[in-house]
Amino acid sequence: MVVQLKKIRINWGFFKTVQSKVTINHNHNYFTKYLYIWLMKQKIKPKIISQIMQKITVIGAGNVGATVANVIAHKNLAKEVVLVDIKEGTAEGKALDIWQSAPINHFNTRVTGVTNDYLATKGSGVIVITSGIPRKPGMSRDDLIKTNAAIVKEVTEKATKYSPDAIIIIVSNPLDVMTYAAYLAANKPSSKVFGMAGTLDTGRYRAFIANALNVDPIDVHALLMGGHGDTMVPLPRYTSVNGIPVTELLGKEELDKIVERTKKGGGELVNLMGTSAWYAPGAAAAQIVEAIVDDQNRVLPVCAMLNGEYGLKNVYLGVPCKIGKNGIEEIIKIALNKEEQALLNTSAQAVRELMKSLDDMKLFE
């Protein structure tokens, strides 16, 4: 369980104190017991805000998948994290490495690695899918979609066989269409199948603004919508620094540069490292998992199926959503001006073309 208190500040080990709130991690049961007794003596009744999830599965033990598992374990979001990969020994080795850091970093979520053993994932409350291959030289867009959609289809079907009620979060690329592929394979409501990209893109955007202003990135609040990539829709009107509109702190030219850098954020890292990013994508996926596990009702931008919202239907697109124990609890509708709506429509059309390419491949018949 997670216990949240108000009007008290305690600077003890295992406590995360933010302003006037204290969160007690559910897995420090021995510690929670004695704290609860002490609080009752002080006539402070703690409020239980969530229960621990038994198991979370991360499919794909590459850099991103391993980072997701690592962050989830460090946050003690479940009793067990199962890391699955197709390559013999990869998931087992990375899971063992993460688990050996538990005594050092004070967490006790068990981390297990398996090779194609989906029985080990049985009973998962959340499944994070990172599987897929990067685009190779000479590979067409449709070739990449077909290859990765087949992978996502296979792992989704195998995982949901043993965890039919799990909420599915997609990290695989091309993200918008891979989320659609998982939705087709999972045979469950779209509120329980959605993609991570908006949370990552917004994180990058906020980080760049924090750099430009030399402020704490936690104080930067922002929103991006649309597809993951060049067609994402910037919303400076909904961007602020601790309540101050960013347009009062940065000029249009500098903001435009930050937006363009955000659109190409993934490519910038590939150019620097020769491979895709993993720390920020992994942390973004884990943040969504945390919102589900702790039923936080956090407003996060995710890739969701639209059914009339923003005048768009039957398309997966990045929009702000309330994320809680049931997955997408609500798609939040914000007011867009004509220019912003036009950009969102253009982004939706680009995603629709990818979705149509997948439909034409007839992988799901």
Residue keyed to tokens 């936690």: 218
Strand order through the sheet with 240-241: 220-221, 240-241, 244-245
Strand order through the sheet with 110-115: 110-115, 78-85, 53-59, 126-129, 167-170, 193-195, 298-307, 313-324, 327-331
Structure tokens at 53: 């999830």
Give the active site residue among 74, 106, 221, 228: 228
Residue 51, SS3 per DSSP = coil
Q: Would you call 26 a catalytic residue per the annotation?
A: no
CA atoms within 13 A on the CB side of 28: 22
Q: Residue 194: in which H helix or E strand, if any?
A: strand 193-195
Q: Residue 256: in which H helix or E strand, if any?
A: helix 252-263
Q: How far apart are CA 91 and CA 116, in angstroms?
A: 10
**Active site residues per annotation:** 228
